[in-house]
């Protein structure tokens, strides 16, 4: 994995209270929702039953980027002279809004060469990550876009994924490509770069493991399978499947420190005080349940003395933070390590995983679908997908034939009515002459 793939934070300045609330309402209105909560879709863990799901419906497959999940909101505001200026905001999973620094221009598809006309009313789903490229020691901040909720003021969440991606390509990336060709210097001014995440068919999974994942310029911790024919769903979506190798199956818990041992400081005061240098008696892992209630997980986090020293050296609050953990083969739960040995804190998340997600991950841990299992199913998936495409093509042809027949029928009806009207006129004229 390239070093430090996950960016240290989201570029831009966090919006203050009332301005942020107004932006949330704007997004809710754009998406025709009656709530201003974070609208991003969330995957479920890949279980063994999903090998059959990939044969029942057609899915798109992409690599799971190890970065920061964000939405990018393109909007505008008014200048004092009555003109408009583009504004761009990242939205994290806590539903915080960050105003992106200047330097970006997303042209409108109607006039991609015109720098005064820009795209707005657009909401993009993607991942912020550091890319590392050859002969450049500096990381390149990228936003990989994998879905689109709204474009040019149109809510497209009810459209299937392939249609949403089509809109994204025509209305966003095509004009952007034209603009970049004419203004190559603009890339140097941008605070980050945008790129469409590549998608593949699941029956190319062996090629994904053999050729694509090893050459990625950023970190990766699995695969994502998204149903081609379903709409965008706010919140948990059972048609977005997150596959991770067994060693990457993790759960995000809320950490709760137990009781610290006490000691007498011999300062003349009566009583003992907590010794915060010593390890607490336990490191509880809390899981979110209904009504945002937290309950202890059945296992505590296992921490060694050396790890406790690392945690203390951070000089940061520990209690109540979201921490990413995995289960060792021995059954002990450990925190996922960064390269410097510190925990993978999920400060980008407001809450720990819900109990439904926890149970889903535990199922994946108990009965993991391995890389070999996916490759073994490749042939069956290919055969099933080709059959699905043939069925859809036949259905489309049948609809076209039916529509052609309907047009012919309407045309004949119009001709018959026209002949009848002409005959009636003739009779009327004949009766008048008589």
Angle at 36 between CA 70 and CA 82, to 5 degrees: 85
Specify the pLDDT at position 267: 67
The string of pLDDT tens digits covering residues 253-280 is: 999 999 999 988 776 666 788 899 999 9
Query: Are 1 and 220 within 8 A, CB to CB?
Result: yes
List the one residue out of 281, 206, 229, 297 whose CA is nearest residue 60.
229
Cβ(218)–Cβ(141) under 8 Å?
A: no
Q: What is the pLDDT of residue 247?
A: 78
Under-50 pLDDT residues of the chain? 1
pLDDT given at position 382: 97
Looking only at Cα atoms, what is the longest distance across the chain? Answer: 132
> 43: closest CA among 254, 326, 244?
244
Domains, the chain, in order of start with CATH, read 13-245 (3.30.470.30), 250-367 (2.40.50.140)
Residue of 383, 354, 215 lying closest to 294 (CA atoms):
354
How is residue 50 written in tokens?
A: 């999903």
Distance of CA 425 to the CA centre of its chain: 67
Rg (CA), the chain: 28
Residue position matching structure tokens 């964000």: 70
CA 205 to chain CA mean position, Å: 20
**Three-state SS letters, 349-378:** CCCCCEHHHHHHHHHHHHCCCCHHHHHHCH
Q: How far is CA 41 from CA 38, 121, 160, 186, 226, in A?
A: 9, 19, 14, 32, 11
pLDDT computed for residue 22 by the predictor:
97
Non-local CB neighbours of 352 within 8 Å, separated by 6+ positions: 252, 253, 254, 286, 287, 288, 294, 322
Query: 64, 228, 242, 254: which is the annotated catalytic residue?
Result: 64
Q: Is 426 a catalytic residue?
A: no
Predicted pLDDT of residue 302 = 97
pLDDT of residue 433: 54
CA 314 to chain CA mean position, Å? 30
**Closest residue by Cα to residue 98 from 106, 109, 87:** 87
Chain-centroid distance, C-alpha 351: 17
Helix, coil or strand: residue 195: strand
């Amino acid at each position: 994995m390239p070093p430090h793939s996950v960016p240290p934070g989201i570029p831009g300045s966090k919006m203050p209270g009332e301005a942020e609330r107004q932006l949330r309402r704007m997004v809710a209105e754009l998406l025709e929702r009656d709530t201003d909560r974070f609208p991003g879709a969330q995957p479920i863990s890949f279980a063994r039953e999903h090998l059959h799901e990939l044969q029942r419906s057609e899915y798109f497959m992409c690599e799971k980027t190890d970065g920061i999940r964000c939405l990018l909101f393109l909007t505008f505001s008014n200048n004092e002279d009555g003109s408009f200026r583009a504004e761009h905001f990242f939205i994290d999973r806590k539903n915080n809004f960050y105003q992106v620094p200047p330097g970006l221009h997303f042209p409108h598809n109607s006039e991609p060469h015109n720098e005064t006309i820009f795209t707005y009313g657009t909401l993009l789903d993607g991942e912020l990550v550091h890319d590392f490229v050859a002969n450049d020691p500096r990381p390149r901040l990228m936003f990989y876009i994998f879905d689109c909720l709204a474009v040019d003021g149109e809510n497209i969440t009810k459209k299937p994924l392939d249609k949403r991606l089509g809109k994204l390509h025509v209305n966003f990336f095509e004009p952007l490509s034209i603009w970049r060709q004419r203004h190559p210097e603009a890339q140097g001014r941008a605070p980050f770069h945008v790129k469409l995440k590549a998608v593949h068919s699941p029956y190319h999974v062996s090629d994904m493991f053999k050729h694509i994942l090893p050459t990625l310029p950023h970190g990766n911790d699995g695969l994502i399978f998204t149903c081609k024919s379903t709409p965008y769903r706010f919140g948990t979506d059972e048609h977005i499947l997150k596959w991770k190798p067994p060693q990457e199956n993790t759960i995000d818990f809320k950490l709760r420190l137990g009781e610290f041992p006490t000691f007498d400081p011999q300062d003349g005061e009566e009583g003992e005080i907590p010794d915060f240098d010593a390890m607490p008696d336990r490191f509880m892992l809390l899981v979110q349940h209904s009504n945002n209630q937290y309950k202890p997980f059945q296992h505590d986090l296992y921490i060694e003395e050396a790890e406790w020293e690392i945690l203390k050296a951070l000089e940061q609050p520990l209690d109540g933070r979201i921490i990413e953990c995995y289960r060792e083969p021995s059954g002990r739960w450990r925190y996922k390590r960064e390269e410097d040995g510190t925990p993978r804190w999920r400060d980008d998340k407001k809450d720990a995983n819900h109990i439904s997600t926890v149970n889903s991950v535990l199922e994946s841990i108990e009965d993991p679908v391995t890389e070999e299992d996916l490759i073994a199913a490749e042939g069956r998936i290919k055969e099933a997908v080709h059959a699905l495409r043939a069925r859809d093509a036949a259905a489309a042809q049948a609809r076209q034939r039916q529509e052609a027949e309907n047009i012919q029928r309407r045309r004949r009806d119009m001709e018959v009515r026209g002949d009848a009207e002409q005959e009636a006129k003739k009779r009327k004229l004949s009766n008048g002459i008589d």
